[in-house]
Chain A
Amino acid sequence: MAKRGKTVRIRGSRPGFWVYAGLAVVLVASVFPLYFSFLIGSGDASTLRDPNRSWIPGGNFFANAAAVMNDGAVNFWLALWNSIWSSTIIAVSVVVFSTLAGWAFAKLRFPGGPALLAFVVATMAVPQQLGVVPLYVLFSEIGWTGQIGAIIVPALTSAFGVFWMTQYLRQSVPDELIEAARVDGASMIRVFWTVGVTAARPAAAMLFLFTFVTAWNNFFWPFIVLDRQNPTLPVALSLLQSNYFVDYSIVLAGVVLATLPLLLLFVVAGKQLVSGIMAGAVKG
Chain B
Amino acid sequence: MTATITDRGTASGAPSPGRPVRVLSFSQRLSRWDVKLSPYLYISPFFIVFAVAGLFPIVYTAVISFMDWDQIRRSGEWVGFDQYAWILQQPKFWVALGNTFSIFLLSSVPQLILATFIAAMLDRHIRARTFWRMSALLPYVVAPVAVGLIFNALFADNSGQVNEWLGFFGIGPIPWHVEPFWSHVAIATMVNYRWTGYNALILLAAMQAIPRDYYEAATVDGAGPFRQFWSVTLPSLRPTLIFVIITSTIGGLQIFDEPRMFDQFGRGGAGSQWLTITLYLYDIGWGEWNFGRASAMAWILFIIILAIGLINLLVTRSLVRDEGGRGPVLTRAERRAAARARRREARA
Q: Which residues in A have some Cβ–Cβ distance to B below 8 Å?
A: 1, 4-15, 19-20, 22-23, 26-27, 29-31, 33-34, 36-37, 40, 48-51, 97-98, 100-101, 103-105, 108-110, 113-114, 116, 120, 123, 125-138, 140-141, 153-157, 159, 162, 170, 175-176, 179-180, 182-183, 185-190, 192, 213, 216-217, 219-220, 223-224, 233-234, 237-238, 240-242, 245, 248, 251-252, 255, 258-259, 262-263, 265-266, 270-271, 273-274, 277-282, 284
Task: Kindly state the separation between the CA atoms of A224 and B294 in the bound complex, as whole angstroms.
Answer: 13
Q: A134-B64, A233-B143, A281-B240 are contacts. A189–B9 as well, Cβ < 8 Å?
A: yes
Q: Which residues of B contact A255 (CB under 8 A)?
A: 146, 149-150
Task: Kindly state the separation between the CA atoms of A110 and B331 in the bound complex, as whole angstroms.
Answer: 11
Q: Are A217 and B144 in contact (CB under 8 A)?
A: yes
Q: Which residues of B contact A182 (CB under 8 A)?
A: 341
Interface locus among B84-92, B104-112, B280-288 = B280-288
Q: Name which residue of chain A comes closest to B312, CB basis.
A: A125
The minimal Cβ–Cβ distance linking A258 to chain B, given in whole angstroms, is 6
Q: Name which residue of chain A comes closest to B60, CB basis.
A: A134
The 7 closest A-B pairs by CB, nearest first: A131-B57, A187-B9, A154-B53, A134-B60, A281-B202, A188-B38, A245-B264
Q: A23-B132, A51-B164, A238-B261 are contacts. A4–B2 as well, Cβ < 8 Å?
A: no
Q: Are B74 and A137 in contact (CB under 8 A)?
A: yes
Q: Are A31 and B135 in contact (CB under 8 A)?
A: yes
State how many residues of chain B have any CB contact under 8 Å with chain A: 130
Q: Are A8 and B137 in contact (CB under 8 A)?
A: no
Q: Which residues of A contact B233 (CB under 8 A)?
A: 8
Q: Which residue from A8, A51, A110, A157 sits with its C-beta under 8 Å from B226?
A: A8
Q: Name which residue of chain A comes closest to B142, CB basis.
A: A259
Q: Are A224 and B309 in contact (CB under 8 A)?
A: no
Q: Which residues in B have some Cβ–Cβ distance to A below 8 Å?
A: 2, 5-6, 8-9, 12-13, 31, 34-36, 38-40, 42-43, 45-47, 49-50, 52-54, 56-58, 60-61, 64, 71, 74, 117-118, 120-126, 130, 132-147, 149-154, 156, 158-161, 164, 193, 197-198, 201-206, 208-209, 212, 215, 219, 224-226, 228-229, 233, 240, 243, 250, 253-254, 256-257, 260-261, 264-266, 278, 281-282, 285-286, 291, 294-295, 297-299, 301-302, 305-306, 309, 326-327, 330-331, 333-334, 337-338, 340-341, 344-345
Q: Are A103 and B42 in contact (CB under 8 A)?
A: yes
Q: Are B294 and A133 in contact (CB under 8 A)?
A: yes
Q: Which residues of A contact B38 (CB under 8 A)?
A: 104, 108, 188-189, 192
Task: Kindly state the separation between the CA atoms of A192 and B34 in the bound complex, as whole angstroms.
Answer: 12
Q: Name which residue of chain B comes closest to A23, CB basis.
A: B132
Q: A7-B117, A153-B52, A189-B9 are contacts. A36–B153 as well, Cβ < 8 Å?
A: yes
Q: Are B135 and A26 in contact (CB under 8 A)?
A: yes
Q: Are A284 and B5 in contact (CB under 8 A)?
A: no
Q: Which residues of B contact A157 (CB under 8 A)?
A: 45-46, 49-50
Q: Name which residue of chain B comes closest to A83, CB basis.
A: B143
